[in-house]
Structure 1
């Protein structure tokens, strides 16, 4: 059970860090603080992310990684905590001399203003390694713990994961599913399948599913 003093300290620290990070934090950001394997503070400027004080810290979360390693962690996370994917940045802090974690929670398509996106991706095929211009890539797929990307009928393999790529790709690339990132320049249509779930068809007539957890973010970005 947390004391009033810890609650007050957590609130003051959150306000302090929000002031420090204000130059790059987007309006849709949220702040959480975890201590003793539970969240003791949460503040959000959007209904997109909601978290109750007292919620246990899950093992696959940014907060757990920070509390365990006592180091800064940033990662793209799945929908386990908020029922939708998010990008989390965690910082180790001390509250009354006890190890805690301050977490900045950001939309899944957030990118740092000063971070230049990659302009090519090197892939391996039967003929060796080939650098491919990023604008020529139609979509990227995670399959059997391997990452593949496709351009004009050619398939390439890369060792970079979808989570890592999502942080480095230009804004025309959208995560639509746990297994897929697409280049919106190659979208032909977005429709619903027989079960009313959204799906996207690319200009090569490849149809890919849109996961329900990504629909809201995608509709906001593409305005439909």
Structure 2
């Protein structure tokens, strides 16, 4: 297949001009794969690079698009890059061959509008209790279950951290593979003896900040 970067970029701009201009943010990244091989990559704000000619990982959005031949969107963990990312993949045709156009949105991307959660319903013992979002201090993934905390009370929810990451208000930030915090409840941020960052919440809870998320948190809190 004789396709180079210029050919692919021209094809995408011509065939998917509406997609690229109408809703893709300027800091999004675009990857294109054909025959389970990446043939084009344009980086947005992400601190990563993707090698042209590298194989498509089996647990990536691009692989799912090529395998299922349909649009796929999901929050992925670390299957392709160092930080979780929200991606949308579309099946496309390039030079008569099935391909995948994948749009990788910023790590802090959130859905806007009425789809944002206004409350979470948590379970305590045999009771289900709706809790307003603004009263939740942090959310935790533990032993394949999701828990959230409000007024020192623990609640179990069926909603996963992956879904919550994109459907919580802007005051919620993911700081670790296992934690999302409400910045309203932050008391301070410090370093431990090994220079790793620790967030201290107003209720006394201390949570680690992983290296994968510290830059995004710095960008939000300006420290």
Scaled to the shorter chain, the TM-score interval is over 0.9
**Higher mean C-alpha displacement, 78-87 vs 59-68:** 78-87
Shift of 1:153: 1.0
Instruction: Normalising by structure 2, report the TM-score.
Output: 0.92
Residue by residue over 1:89-109, the C-alpha shift from the partner in whole angstroms, topping out at 9 and shown as x without a partner, is 111111222221100011121
Q: Which runs of 5+ in 2 are unaligned?
A: none
Name whichever of 6-15 and 205-214 sits farther off. Answer: 6-15
Give the distance between the partners of 2:53 and 2:175, measured in 1 at CA: 31
Q: Report what 2:9 is aligned to.
A: 11
Question: What root-mean-square deviation, in Å, do the aligned CA atoms of Structure 1 and Structure 2 show?
Answer: 1.7
- Separation in 1 of the partners of 2:220 and 2:26? 15
Superposition deviation, residue 167 in structure 1: 1.3
In the TM superposition, residue 9 of structure 1 has moved relative to its aligned partner by 4.4
Q: CA deviation at 1:111?
A: 2.3
Aligned residues: 222
Deviating 4+ runs (over 6 angstroms): none
Question: What is the alpha-carbon distance in structure 2 between the residues aligned to residue 13 and residue 172 of structure 1?
Answer: 39
Q: How does 1:29-40 map to 2 (within 5 A)?
A: 29-40=28-39
Normalising by the residue count of structure 1, what TM-score does the alignment of the two structures yield? Answer: 0.92
Alpha-carbon distance in structure 2 between the residues aligned to 1:84 and 1:60: 15
Confirm or deny that 1:198 pairs with 2:197. Answer: yes
Q: Give the distance between the partners of 1:176 and 1:97, measured in 2 at CA.
A: 43
Partner residue in 2 for 1:55 = 54
Which has the higher mean CA deviation after the structures are superposed, 93-102 or 147-156?
Answer: 93-102
Matched, 1:143 2:142: yes
What do residues 21-45 of structure 1 show as CA deviations (whole Å, max 9, x unaligned)? 3232222111110111111011123
Contact 2:110 2:165 in 1 (8 A): no
* Residues 28-65 of structure 1, C-alpha deviations (whole Å, 9 max, x = no match): 11111011111101112335232121121111211111
**Residue aligned with 1:53, SS:** coil
Unaligned runs of 5+ in 1: none
